[in-house]
């Protein structure tokens, strides 16, 4: 199975290691020639404004939007979640596919990045928040909260999309890798685990 990872900039190499660890094939997406026959998509953390600027040269986001809407399992982390949010405080919607309001750089600058305890479905572990955004509103009853840090929502699922504000690909703990494998294998009929 082939997992397309948006590779304009950011943590795409870390996500590729996760994909390899679960025995699947990462495909680095930099232009439209790399989006054929994908089984899943990952939008990594990084800098959402830089990703938008790079996209201005190749218009790839329109094709990725079509893939998401076709039902392909889609994971976003940090800046990737900003790209997919319907409403962005401190920015503009880019590929709105998940009904959340998100606030960019909500925890502060790079120096305020931290590790914290996160509940992710039925697991509790320590994950990294790097200049992380915050999910500050759920805009639809179709959005399910799947992850929290203290009382804050840090992960949601809507249909075939899981959007996180933290970086599980930096830990690659067993629970996350098992979940990722199952999430991708579910295909177009993604469900909660």
| Residue-wise pLDDT tens digits, 54-66 | 878 888 999 999 9
Average pLDDT over residues 128-157: 93
Does residue 29 fall inside a structural domain?
yes
Which one from 15, 128, 149, 167 is the annotated catalytic residue? 167
Could you tell me if 170 and 14 are in contact, meaning their C-beta atoms sit under 8 angstroms apart? yes
Give the burial class of 192: count Cβ atoms within 10 A of its Cβ; 0-12 exposed, 13-18 middle, 19 or more buried.
Answer: exposed
Specify whether 78 is catalytic: yes
Question: pLDDT at residue 188 above 50?
Answer: no
The residue length of the chain stands at 193
Q: Decide: helix, strand or coil at residue 6.
A: strand
Specify whether 47 is catalytic: no
Does residue 193 fall inside a structural domain?
no
Specify whether 128 is catalytic: no
Which one from 15, 20, 78, 115 is the annotated catalytic residue? 78
Average pLDDT over residues 160-178: 93
Lowest mean pLDDT among 37-46, 77-86, 113-122: 113-122
CATH number at residue 73: 3.40.50.880
Distance CA 31, CA 22 (A): 25
Which one from 15, 128, 149, 169 is the annotated catalytic residue? 169
Overall pTM surpassing 0.85 (yes/no): yes
Does residue 31 fall inside a structural domain?
yes
Question: pLDDT at residue 163 above 90?
Answer: yes
Instruction: Name which residue leads in pLDDT, 135 or 185.
Output: 135
Of the candidates 184, 180, 141, 147, which has an alpha carbon nearest to the alpha carbon of residue 165?
Answer: 147
Domain count, the chain: 1
Does residue 127 fall inside a structural domain?
yes
Range of the domain at 160: 2-185
Question: pLDDT at residue 4 above 70?
Answer: yes
Please provide the average confidence, as pLDDT, over all residues in the chain.
89
Does residue 80 fall inside a structural domain?
yes
Could you tell me if 84 and 163 are in contact, meaning their C-beta atoms sit under 8 angstroms apart? yes
Q: Which two tokens stand for residue 94?
A: 């880019």
Q: What is the pLDDT of residue 186?
A: 76
Q: What is the pLDDT of residues 85-127, one digit of tens each?
A: 999 998 889 999 999 999 987 776 666 677 899 999 989 999 9
Does residue 191 fall inside a structural domain?
no
DSSP notation for 66-125 = HHHHTT--EEEETHHHHHHEEEEETS--SS--EEEEEETTTT-SGGG-EEEEEEETTEEE
Does residue 143 fall inside a structural domain?
yes
Of all residues in the chain, the percent with pLDDT exceeding 70 is 94
Q: What is the pLDDT of residue 193?
A: 41
Q: What is the pLDDT of residue 190?
A: 55
Q: Decide: helix, strand or coil at residue 144.
A: strand
Q: Decide: helix, strand or coil at residue 23.
A: coil
Does residue 55 fall inside a structural domain?
yes
Distance CA 101, CA 121 (A): 21
What is the separation, in whole angstroms, between the first and last Cα of the chain? Answer: 20
Give Cβ neighbours of residue 180 (< 8 Å, ≥ 6 apart): 18, 19, 22, 75
Question: pLDDT at residue 73 above 70?
Answer: yes
């Amino acid at each position: 199975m082939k997992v397309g990872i948006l590779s304009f900039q950011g943590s795409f190499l870390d996500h590729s290691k996760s994909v390899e660890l679960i025995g699947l094939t990462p495909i680095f997406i930099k232009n439209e020639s790399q989006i054929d026959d994908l089984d899943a998509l990952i939008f990594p953390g990084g800098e959402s404004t830089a990703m938008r600027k790079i996209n201005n040269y190749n218009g790839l986001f329109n094709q990725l939007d079509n893939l998401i809407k076709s039902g392909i399992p889609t994971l976003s982390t940090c800046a990737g979640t900003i790209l997919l949010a319907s409403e962005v405080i401190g920015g503009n919607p880019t590929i709105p596919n998940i009904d959340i309001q998100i606030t960019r750089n909500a925890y502060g600058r790079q120096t305020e990045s931290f590790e914290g305890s996160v509940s992710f479905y039925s697991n509790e572990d320590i994950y990294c928040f790097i200049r992380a955004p915050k999910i500050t509103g759920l805009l639809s009853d179709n959005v399910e909260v799947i992850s929290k840090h203290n009382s804050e929502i840090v992960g949601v699922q809507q249909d075939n999309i899981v959007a996180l504000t933290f970086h599980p690909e930096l830990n690659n703990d067993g629970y996350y890798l098992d979940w990722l494998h199952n999430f991708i294998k579910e295909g177009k009929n993604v469900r909660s685990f």
